[in-house]
Amino acid sequence: MLQLDQIPLKQIHGVSALKEGELHAFGISNVQDMLEYYPFRYEDYRLRSLSEVKDGDKITVQAKIMGIPVLQRYGRKSRLTCKLMAEDWMFTATWFNRHFLKDQLTSGREIVVTGKWDLKRMQMTVADSEFPDKGVARSGTIQPVYSIGGKITQSWMRKTMNQTLQQFGEMIPEILPDLLVRKYSMMPRKQAIAGIHQPQDNREGQEARRRMVYEELFLFQLKMQAFRALNRGRADGVVHTVDNATIREFVRALPFELTDAQKKVELEILHDLRSPYCMNRLLQGDVGSGKTVVAAIGLFATVRSGFQGALMVPTEILAEQHMRSLHKLFEPFGISVGLLTGSTTGKKRKELLAALQMGLLDIVVGTHALIQEDVYFRQLGLVVTDEQHRFGVNQRSVLRRKGYNPDVLTMTATPIPRTLAITAFGDMDVSTISERPKGRIPISTYWVKHELMDRVLGFISREVDQGRQAYLICPLIEESEKLDVQNAIDLHIQMQQAFPHYRVGLLHGRMTPAEKEEVMRSFYANEVQLLVSTTVVEVGVDVPNATLMIIMDADRFGLSQLHQLRGRVGRGAHASYCVLIADPKSEVGQERMKVMTDTDDGFEVARRDLDLRGPGDFFGTKQSGLPEFRLADMVADFEVLEKAREDATDLIKDSSFWTSPQYEALRGYLQKEQIFQGDLID
């Protein structure tokens, strides 16, 4: 019998070749993908009585048309109004840009309208409307809302999802063992998937989501616990044999003293390196906490043990930065460091690849260029990935496969509460650097309102006149009709006018990689004094001479993002400042500004962010590095995540898991995810 992921989309009635191509753009390739493409919210079209609704509610009511519709045109736009009667309530319904409805709004005809209710004016701005005499499609139901685009409409998606459930709903397999379904009183899988797409009421929708959230988190944890068990049980990793005296010699030569936290993490990493089991460790620390020097100690130990090391970073600027700092640390010990990026071409690239393959190059720093097919190592012993969330799992694993089971150290500057990190990265050991290096000057943070912008400009002028540099960050690239916030293009022009004697650079996400690299190179070399940018500078850029971070409309950013941006200054010997320009209207927005001025401790900021913003918005996928799920939220559903981890751990430890027929579906899932091959199981 065919499995759902083997059935092409064209088997669904109503899906043409054109529509199949459109669905592929959403990552939907087969019937299973279709059924697991869940709505992100719901529209409630259940009929309400006007006597029970509040001002501002979005409601659906059935009414009778009581007058002649009035159409007003404004160029290409239009406004259509008509009197309606629902029960004993007479009100005005308004449609925008729906002029074609005028002839259908005939007096005495029944209509169902959905929209925002204005109790004071006794009117409704209509978002949806339909006529019962045409056959009602939505009224009285809860309708899913999907993320769509292109030529896929909401109504087509709903209709096609219903068709998919009718055709293939009975084929949806149960993957969870019966003992877990009973343990948590969960509905069967086929009922849950149908309940997510077509909930009859709120309770059914919540129960369906509860079941599928648990399943998502459980399968994620099962995958990690199985990977951990199978890999930790095999003593076929690289064994590094460097002695403590050699390490102490390197540490004593550092231009600064390690913090206690760095020393603790260093011992954890060295213990892993000397073990016959593959290291798979996550190193997290606040911006500027000294993660790179700890990684350097690991790379030093690797080279002194006769192996090569690799450090992969997301951008060329960052690669060059790490190359310079590592070269300075390793040169006195005769350890060679090379740089491999997309800009490394021709003869230089050939020579570097040859040195790497012959073992003449000890350490290579690079971007994703490191994982190209023609890159070979003689004996790769340690892979370090910086800003790990910027690379996909496949990219990291390709680099790992360049050697024979090398140790892996993954670094991130996003502080994640330790309990969440341990649970989220269940296949990794987690090390945390919670201290700042000694002598680092704290960054002074100020919150000012837009009306004080002239004083901010004076502050910028004083810093730049002293030879320093400044960032100015905007939430948008260009002007938006929907948002009244500062944009980078306009601000760049304003700064050029305000500071005609300084060079003002512009950086944003629509620029090509080469253009971005050139702007950052100019800023690093102090050829550009002011850099107007979007959040593309958030991670990894290290310009010691930059002492001022100005963030426009700071209330548009999350706390963790603001903290990452603040961490771009304070990298040198000079006092540094962060100025948040914002007029937040809400209490939460004001409290966020206060948090930023109260502390520059990333872990405290992360804790307060979780308290303030609520679990659903805590982690932005771009900055957290946490796995993405279709339904689950690792913070909002943290208790479920913990239970799922416990259940997965217990199951993997149970010897019957690997042989019992009741777990066949889960073993099949692990094989499909390439956690193991069939011949690994006795």
Question: Could you tell me which residues come within 8 angstroms of residue 153 by beta carbon, excluding any fewer than 6 positions away?
Answer: none
Q: Which residues contact 421 (CB under 8 A, 6 or more apart)?
A: 282, 284, 430, 432
Q: Which portions of the chain are predicted below pLDDT 70? A: 1, 135-139, 231-235, 387-400, 414-415, 417-419, 422, 424, 426-427, 439, 478-485, 538-541, 610-628, 676-682
With 0-12 / 13-18 / 19 or more C-beta atoms within 10 angstroms meaning exposed / middle / buried, residue 98 is middle
Q: Helix, strand or coil for residue 553?
A: coil
Residue 511 structure tokens: 């620029």
Looking at residue 157, what is its pLDDT?
A: 94
Beta strands in 331-421 (DSSP E): 337-340, 363-366, 380-385, 407-412
Give the tens place of pLDDT for each residue, 628-679.
688 987 777 888 988 999 999 999 989 899 899 999 999 988 888 777 655 4
**Predicted pLDDT at 128:** 86
Q: Is residue 640 within 8 Å of 451, Cβ to Cβ?
A: no
Say whether 259-433 and 47-139 share the same fold. no
Q: What pLDDT was estimated at residue 28?
A: 93
Tell me the average pLDDT of the chain: 86
Query: How many Å apart are CA 536 and CA 191, to the nearest integer?
Result: 43
Q: Residues, the chain, total?
A: 682
The answer to whether the Cα torsion of 62, 67, 68, 72 is positive or negative is negative
pLDDT score at 622: 36
Question: E strands within 239-373?
Answer: 280-285, 308-312, 337-340, 363-366
What ranges in 466-601 are assigned the alpha helix state H? 488-498, 513-524, 559-566, 587-598
pTM for this predicted structure: 0.63
**Angle, alpha carbons 236-229-658 (nearest 5°):** 115
Asked if 445 and 529 touch (Cβ cutoff 8 Å), the reply is no
Q: How far is CA 388 from CA 30, 313, 509, 559, 588, in A?
A: 30, 8, 20, 20, 30
Q: Which two tokens stand for residue 319?
A: 């690669």
CB crowding 112-149: b at 16 or more within 10 Å, else e: bbbbebbeeeebbebebbbbeeeeeebbebbbbebeee
Put residue 332 in one of left, alpha, beta given phi > 0 → left and psi -120 to 50 → alpha.
alpha
Three-state DSSP state, 417: coil
Could you tell me how far CA 29 lies from the centroid of its own chain? 23
Predicted local confidence at residue 508, as pLDDT: 84
Amino acid symbol at 546: A
The residue with tokens 């149960």 is 174
Q: Are 555 and 584 in contact (CB under 8 A)?
A: yes
Q: Locate the domains of the chain by residue range.
A: 47-139, 183-233+633-677, 259-433, 443-599
Q: CA-to-CA distance for 108 and 84, rounded, in angstroms?
A: 9
CATH C-level class of 443-599: alpha beta
Distance separating alpha carbons of residues 648 and 218, to the nearest angstrom: 6
In a 10 Å sphere around its CB, with 0-12 CB exposed, 13-18 middle and 19+ buried, how is residue 26 labelled? middle
Give pLDDT, residue 621. Answer: 34
The amino acid at residue 217 is: L
The DSSP bridge partners found for residue 463 are none
Query: What distances in angstroms separate CA 573 from CA 253, 464, 543, 638, one per listed residue?
Result: 20, 16, 11, 41
3-state SS string over 152-164?
Answer: CCHHHHHHHHHHH
Q: What's the topology of domain 47-139?
A: OB fold (Dihydrolipoamide Acetyltransferase, E2P) (2.40.50)
In whole angstroms, give the CA distance from residue 639 to residue 642.
5
What is the distance of C-alpha 295 from the center of its chain? 24
What would the DSSP string read from start to end of 116-147? EEETTTTEEEEEEEE-GGG--SSTTSEEEE--
Tell me the Cα Rg of the chain: 29
The span from the CA of 629 to the CA of 345, in Å, is: 39
Q: Are strands 444-448 and 577-581 parallel, antiparallel or unpaired?
A: parallel
In CATH, what is the architecture of 259-433?
A: 3-Layer(aba) Sandwich (3.40)
